[in-house]
Structure 1
Amino acid sequence: MSEEGGPEHERGGGLHFDPRALVIALVAVAALLAYAVHHESELRAGRTPAALRTDERGLDALSASIGAEVLAFEDDDGVPIRVLVREEAPGDYVLVAYRRRGDAFERFGQTWFPTGFDRPRIAGDPPRLEMRERGTGAVLVMRIEGDEVDLVARDGDVEMVELPAPVPP
């Protein structure tokens, strides 16, 4: 013990470095950064927890937060469908489909990334989401069968257009 009576004076005084505390702090900061990066990429892909199941207002809020438009129509059984359409670059889009189940809209099907198209719109009878390929003029429509969503050539359009592979939800 020193004359002042404190054990810190025996060891030279001041603060002491604890390497375990530094490692714990670095791991915590790395985890927070990883979470932030993951959350941002999930948001950009439309895969936030709120995006999986939400009501109409939540869908509108989500679309506004990511700069997307909501297109609405009904499937063959009269079930309301909403499609978030976000333009990534001129002619390049991201499409994410939602179906009403009970009192909420649930995400279903794949995420599509069509490139080289005019802006998707609701058209036809019955109303469907459709879009025209800029190079060939072929029109693709959204076809819904069960939980599957496909973009297929509209009847009468002979040329099929290759789309990038969908990304599972």
Structure 2
Amino acid sequence: MEGIRSNKPGPRPLPTLPPDPLSLDIDELERAFREVLSASKTTFLEPEKLAGYVRDFGADKTIVSTLPELGGTLDLVTIDDPLQLAGVDLTILHARLGVAENGAMWLSETEMVHRVLPFITQHLVLIVDRATLVPTMHAAYRRIDICETGFGVFVAGPSKTADIEQSLVIGAHGPRSLIVCLR
């Protein structure tokens, strides 16, 4: 054991992030973003159809929305214990940014209100502003300020796993569906 300790290499500086790739215009970023997410069974919804989608989702369903224009049936202010969110059918949240290379969308604790919300809901709708699309994860990390918002998470498609008896299971540890609305 002492031999291992005495041969321990010294600290090394962290690598610097590579520069951003050549600028892509917003249409190219959106095309790449849609292409990647479409492969993961994500559905896209046009902004003008979102209110109708929420209205038609079901009057008997539990809907949470952090967007004032799309009121839900459950007010997050009344939730003291995140376990009270276990019955949420649909959640609508605003994502701070989207990443074209892998379809990931950044949600901070500010947008989620409760950290468990994007994982415990059955169906998740994320609103992403086209102007916030970035080409790479490197560019995304440059825009994220954890000190400003605290906890955050990248979401990229509905939850799925094939670990359970080698069968594909959708929604095993997250939402069963993801709908993205680019505006």
TM-score for the superposition, normalised by structure 2: 0.23
Higher normalized strand content (fraction of residues): 1
TM-score for the superposition, normalised by structure 1: 0.24
Higher normalized helix content (fraction of residues): 2
Query: Max radius of gyration: which structure?
Result: 1
